[in-house]
Homo-oligomer: A and B are copies of this chain.
Amino acid sequence: MDTKKAEKISKALADTTRLTILKEIKKSKDCLYCVDLNETLNLAQPSICHHVKQLVDTELIFSEKNGRNVRYSLNNKMLDEYISFIEGLKI
Please give the residue numbers on chain A whose beta carbons come within 8 Å of chain B beta carbons, in ascending order. Answer: 3-4, 6-7, 10-11, 13-16, 19-20, 22-23, 25-26, 29-30, 74, 76, 79-80, 82-83, 86-87, 89-91
Closest B residue to A73 by beta carbon equals: B91
Number of copies: 2
| A86 B89 Cβ-Cβ under 8 A | no
- Report the minimum CB–CB distance from A43 to chain B (whole Å): 16
| A82 B91 Cβ-Cβ under 8 A | no
| A86 B82 Cβ-Cβ under 8 A | yes
Q: Given the complex, which residues of B lie within 8 Å of A90, measured CB to CB?
A: 26, 74, 76, 79-80
| A16 B7 Cβ-Cβ under 8 A | yes
